[in-house]
A = this chain, B = another copy of it.
Amino acid sequence: MDLIYWIDLLGTLVFAISGVLAAVDKKFDLVGAFILGMVTAVGGGTLRDVLIGTTPVGWMKDLSYFVIILAALPICYFFKKAILKLRKGIFLFDTIGIGLFTILGLQKTLDVGLSPAIAVLMGIVSATFGGVIRDVLSNEVPLIFRKEIYASACLMGGLIFLLLEYFLKNASINIVLSILVVIVIRYLAVRKNWALPFNPN
């Protein structure tokens, strides 16, 4: 499935750019910018691979991911302003990437024989923990803890994917439909300012 591979690389690039830009905000140097780009892009999938025991972790076996992340440095250096202007377009790519990361992480977890519930959890981890590690390394409370951004969208996308797999046997269509669910829910969440407060009294 070539298209999925390219979406995966594109999602990696968008995540890496968001990490590098966070490093610029923090006035980190070149080393810090590279590390923050790297962990944002591959941190979630790396954590998943380590937890389910499929090591060496995925990005080590295909250099394309590493090259893509390196490329984020000159891209941010020369096109920072253009990137900030394109936020809306990037939001779309970002959400497509998150959706795909969720489904790929879920599938990889099922492949090692773990249960669907754990697979959905690992899908969400794949999509969200790059950002959590980025925030921890930047000495910030992870954004995802304070403000629902996309964990719920990943959860719904993952559940829909499992449902589709049960009834339909066409993996490509199932992936596309599940990613669409992630995009729609996330779009609605941002648009309607959805929140999930947890305030026991």
Assess whether B46 is in contact with A51, with CB atoms less than 8 Å apart. Answer: yes
A31's partner among B32, B73, B151 (CB-CB below 8 A) is B151
Contact-residue size bin, chain A (C-beta under 8 Å from the other chain): 35 or more
The docked-state distance in angstroms from the alpha carbon of A137 to that of B143 is: 11
Min Cβ gap A194→B in Å is: 10
A29's partner among B31, B33, B78, B146 (CB-CB below 8 A) is B146
Given contacts A30-B196, A147-B29, A148-B31, contact A139 B137 (CB under 8 A): no
Given contacts A24-B199, A29-B196, A31-B152, contact A60 B138 (CB under 8 A): no
The docked-state distance in angstroms from the alpha carbon of A50 to that of B52 is: 9
The docked-state distance in angstroms from the alpha carbon of A60 to that of B56 is: 19
Q: Binary interface profile of A, 127-151, with partner B (CB < 8 Å = 1, else 0)?
A: 0000010001111111011111001
Q: Which residues in B have their C-beta under 8 angstroms from that of A152?
A: 31
Residue A89 is within 8 A (CB to CB) of chain B in the complex = no
Q: Which residues in B have their C-beta under 8 angstroms from that of A117?
A: 63, 66
Q: Which residues in B have their C-beta under 8 angstroms from that of A139?
A: 136, 139-141
- Please give me the residue from chain B that is nearest to A149 by CB atom: B31
Assess whether B200 is in contact with A29, with CB atoms less than 8 Å apart. Answer: no
Residue A163 is within 8 A (CB to CB) of chain B in the complex = no
The 5 tightest CB contacts between A and B, nearest first, are A53-B55, A32-B145, A30-B196, A80-B200, A30-B198
What residues make up the interface of A, taking CB atoms closer than 8 Å to B?
A: 23-24, 26-33, 35-36, 46, 50-53, 55-57, 60-61, 63, 66, 73, 76-78, 80, 112, 114-115, 117-118, 121, 132, 136-142, 144-148, 151-152, 195-201
